[in-house]
Structure formats: C-alpha cells, structure tokens
C-alpha cells in the first residue's frame, strides 16, 4: 500500500488533497495516513504467527505516541511498549488494557516503577541490578518480569541507534556472572515471576541474519539457564528495529518471509536445545508508522552561496525534523504543487533554526522551487513528532490523521501560550 498518490498538481493521501489541509491548518504540518498504520499493524499481526508458539507484538511507543495512536493500537489488537512515565500515562489515559503494556527503560525511577505497579502493567523489563533493588522495594503484588540482555550482536546501522554492541548502555551482558545472579534473585523472589529474556539489537536494520543471530544467542542462554541453573524461561522478546524505506538506497526485507523464517528457526533451535517453545514477541516502532507520515512545509527564500551551494529554506527546522542532524538520515521530498515535474537541480533543504547543522535534506533533486510553494518530505511518521523540540522557541506542528473517511487533528499545533505556560517570573 502506498501512503500517498502523486498527481500532476498535488499529492493525495487516501482521497484527501494535502493542499486542503494546509489551507485549514497551515505549515509546518505533520500528516499521517491512518489507514496505512492500520495496514502495517495488520500485516505484522498476520505475519508474526506460528502454529507452535504464542506470539505477541508490542508497538514501540517511542516512534510516535498520542492518545489517538494508543486507541488505534488497541483497536488493531497490538500490545504496547512504553519507556517512561509520560508514555505509560498516555496509554493509561487512553484506556489501554494495562496487562498488554510492557515497561522498558534503562534507569526507571521509583515513581515510574510505582506507577507501573499501581496500574498493573503486564510486564516490567528489568535492565540492571539497581533497578531490581528499586522494584523489590516497592512491590505490592506479584509481577511478571523480563530481563534485558545484551548479547553483543553487531547490527549494521548508525552507531547511535545500534543498541547491543558490548559497550551499549542497555541491558546486562550474556557473558557476565552478574546477569545470572540478577536472574536468580528474580527467580527466588516470592512476588516476582521471571518470565524470560528481552533484547533489542538496534534500529533500521536491513539484514534479517542479525535477528537470527540474536535469537540463537538468547536461546543458547535459555538453555544455559535451564541446564546449569534450573531456571525455565517462558518468554522470548526480540525487540524491534525492522528497517524501512526512506530513500531508494534503502532495501527493507520482506516482513512476511522473514518472520516466517525466524519463527521456524526458533522452533528448530528449541528442538535442538531441548527447550519448551517460548511465547515469542517483537517490538516494532518505525516499521509501523514511519512511511505513514509526511511533513509539509512552506518554501521561503532560496539562496546560492558564494561557493555555489543552493539552499531552499522552509518554515520548519531541526526542531521538527532532527533525524538528519542526528543520524545523517536521508529523505526524499517533492514540491506539493508539482510533484511530477522533472527535477532541475539538487538543493539543500534548510530550516529556520539558528544552527548550521539545521539541514533537513542535504541533497534533494527538485524543479526550481518558488516562494509560497510547499515541500512535502516523505517518511516522517516515526521519530519526528516524538523527537520534536522547542529549540529557538519554535512551536511544534499539529498532527493530522487521514483515514479513508476523514482528516482529523490528533494533536493541536502548539501555541505561544502553550510555550509560555510553564515559565515563571
Ligand atoms: N524496543 C526497544 C527496546 C527499543 O529500544 C526500540 C528503539 C524499539 C523497540 C523500536 O525500534 P524500531 O522498530 O522503531 O526501530 N530515534 C532513533 C531510533 C531510536 C530507537 C530506540 N529504540 C531514530 O530516529 O532512528
């Protein structure tokens, strides 16, 4: 399914003309194809199934979370991974069933743990021994937990979004004695139920073999727990990280084929290791929402520098689009009024923030942009709104959901009053 359709004089999302949204809501504007998100949720659910295992899909909230998004995830029957009080309370406020919430984080506070317990979340993923002490200090009832492990798998992605090299801050190494001690403490605690293992090897991963390697190392660890320590493991959570297409350089693997083969691999490895089949889960974030989203900007000045570099300035910035500055991420964009016109030159798309690194797209082939035309940047549904800031006191844009039936605001644009509302003189 394509989230957008290019016509000679505009771009449609479902049947909605993006130009009409600008008239109503202005720019910058995040627009997300709700039908596409539902389609992805259904595709993941249908593909991540196996006759011999129970499976579960936790949508990783950090990619994009609002009350409306929580409702969508609930309606589509996915579970939810949260990592902070804010994400947890967004889920609770939207009425999400707490038994389907999994609580992550490498430094959960006492308040976060207490709140997770109060709302009876389904699973808490313990990251380290200090966190376990905190959890034990505030337990009021039995709690299912997973332990986050670091198997040191090298997934080929940007250093900042790779999470399981040996020096990563996340989880406990499978090679450390401390990890076994921590699991034994959980196993022996009368109110804690040690369910199993969690790992997330990184984000925007294109090689399915990395997930196979991860699964193998975790199953090997499960075997060791069983044989050496007599501890059984009922859950195996492989995290998220499934890559998506930002530009034509990206070549994501086929979810349907890959999920089938990883689940079959887990089955044969369990058989070989003499392990009972665990409940297997994943935590996709980006792959559910990234391609659903576009950001629309108004084009302002253009400038050719003394050295010949051609800039196009837009009315947004790194405050609503940080991924290029942070990860050298690449994007594609079109002029909304002329999406099918052949490009004439390669431009750098820059924002209005006071920062030389405020570049949205370093090399963007476009027809000569005109003042007051609009630029549509594609694949901005994940880690854009959720990573937006108020740098330079710029305001966060609204978010619109476009379904088959309607376009509706799911987050209002921030106002100057909102911005000043927390200041005290
Ligand atoms: N589970 C855990 C434990 C995670 O840490 C993450 C992402 C996910 C699941 C979801 O990964 P996904 O399927 O979305 O790749 N801000 C960065 C991405 C950071 C991801 C952090 N953890 C970016 O914009 O690329």
Q: Is 198 in the pocket of ligand 1 (CB under 6 A)?
A: no
pLDDT at 157: 61
Query: From residue 398, how far is each of 9, 22, 173, 410, 418 by CA, in Å?
Result: 24, 11, 41, 8, 13
pLDDT at 168: 85
Residue 195 is among the residues annotated as catalytic for this protein: no
As a whole number of angstroms, the distance between CA 129 and CA 187 comes to: 13
pLDDT at 156: 64
* Integer-rounded Cα radius of gyration of the chain: 23
Closest to 377 (Cα-Cα) out of 30, 25, 20: 30
Query: What is the mean pLDDT of each successive set of 10 residues along the chain, which is 425 residues long?
Result: 96 97 98 98 98 97 98 98 98 98 96 98 97 97 97 71 72 92 97 97 94 96 97 97 97 96 98 98 98 98 96 98 98 98 97 97 97 97 98 98 96 98 97
List the beta strands (DSSP E) in 97-248: 101-103, 123-126, 143-150, 172-173, 192-198, 235-237
Question: Are 243 and 287 spatial neighbours (Cβ–Cβ below 8 Å)?
Answer: yes
pLDDT at 166: 79
As a whole number of angstroms, the distance between CA 124 and CA 127 comes to: 9
- Ligand 1 centre distance from Cα of residue 203 (Å): 5
Sorted by sequence, the CB contacts under 8 Å of residue 359 that are 6+ apart come out as 318, 324, 325, 348, 349, 350, 351
Helix (H, G, I), strand (E, B) or coil at 323: helix
Q: Is 104 in the pocket of ligand 1 (CB under 6 A)?
A: yes
First CA to last CA distance, the chain: 51
Sorted by sequence, the CB contacts under 8 Å of residue 78 that are 6+ apart come out as 41, 44, 45, 57, 58, 59
pLDDT at 73: 98
pLDDT at 151: 92
Element (H, E) at 280: strand 279-282
pLDDT at 159: 58
SS (H, E, C) 109-132: CHHHHHHHHHCCCCEEEECCHHHH
Supply 59's token pair: 């949508």
As a whole number of angstroms, the distance between CA 234 and CA 193 comes to: 10
| Closest C-alpha residue for ligand 1 atom 19 | 161
Q: Is 241 in the pocket of ligand 1 (CB under 6 A)?
A: yes
Task: State phi, psi for 135 to the nearest 5 degrees.
Answer: -65, -45
Domain annotation for the chain: domains and CATH numbers: 5-32+290-420 (2.40.37.10), 34-289 (3.20.20.10)
As a whole number of angstroms, the distance between CA 379 and CA 292 comes to: 7
- Ligand 1 centre distance from Cα of residue 139 (Å): 28
């Amino acid at each position: 399914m394509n989230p957008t359709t290019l016509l000679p004089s505009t771009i449609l999302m479902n049947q909605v003309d993006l130009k009409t949204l600008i008239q109503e809501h202005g720019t910058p504007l995040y627009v997300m194809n709700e039908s596409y998100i539902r389609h992805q949720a259904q595709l993941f659910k249908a593909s991540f199934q196996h006759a011999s295992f129970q499976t579960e899909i936790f949508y990783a909230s950090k990619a994009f979370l609002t009350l409306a998004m929580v409702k969508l995830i609930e309606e589509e029957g996915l579970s939810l991974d949260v990592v902070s009080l804010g994400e947890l309370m967004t889920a609770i406020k939207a009425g999400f069933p707490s038994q389907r919430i999994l609580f992550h984080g490498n430094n959960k506070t006492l308040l976060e743990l207490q709140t997770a317990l109060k709302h009876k979340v389904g699973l808490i993923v313990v990251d380290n021994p200090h966190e376990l002490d905190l959890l034990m200090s505030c337990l009021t009832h039995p709690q299912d937990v997973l332990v986050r492990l670091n198997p040191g798998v090298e997934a080929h992605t940007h250093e900042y979004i790779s999470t399981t090299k040996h020096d990563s801050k996340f989880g406990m190494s499978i090679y450390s004695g401390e990890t076994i001690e921590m699991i034994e403490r959980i196993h022996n605690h009368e109110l804690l139920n040690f369910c199993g293992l969690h790992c997330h090897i990184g984000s925007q991963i294109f090689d399915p073999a990395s997930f196979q390697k991860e699964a193998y190392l975790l199953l090997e660890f499960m075997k060791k727990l069983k044989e050496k320590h007599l501890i059984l493991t009922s859950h195996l959570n492989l995290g998220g990280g499934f890559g998506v297409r930002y530009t034509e350089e990206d070549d994501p693997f086929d979810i349907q084929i890959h999920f089938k083969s990883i689940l079959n691999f887990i089955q044969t490895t369990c058989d070989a290791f003499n392990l009972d089949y665990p409940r297997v889960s994943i935590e996709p974030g980006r792959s559910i929402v990234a391609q659903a989203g576009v950001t629309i900007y108004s084009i302002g000045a253009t400038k050719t520098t003394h050295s010949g570099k051609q800039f196009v300035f837009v009315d947004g910035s790194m405050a609503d689009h940080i991924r290029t500055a942070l990860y050298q991420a690449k994007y594609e964009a079109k002029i909304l009024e002329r999406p099918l016109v052949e490009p004439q030159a390669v431009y750098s798309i820059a924002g209005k923030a006071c920062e030389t690194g405020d570049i949205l797209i370093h090399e963007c082939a476009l027809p000569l942009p005109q003042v007051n035309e609009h630029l549509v940047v594609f694949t901005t549904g994940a880690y854009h709104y959720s990573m937006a800031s108020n740098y330079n006191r710029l305001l966060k844009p609204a978010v619109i959901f476009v379904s088959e039936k309607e376009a509706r605001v799911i987050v209002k644009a921030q106002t100057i009053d909102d911005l000043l509302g927390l200041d005290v003189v």
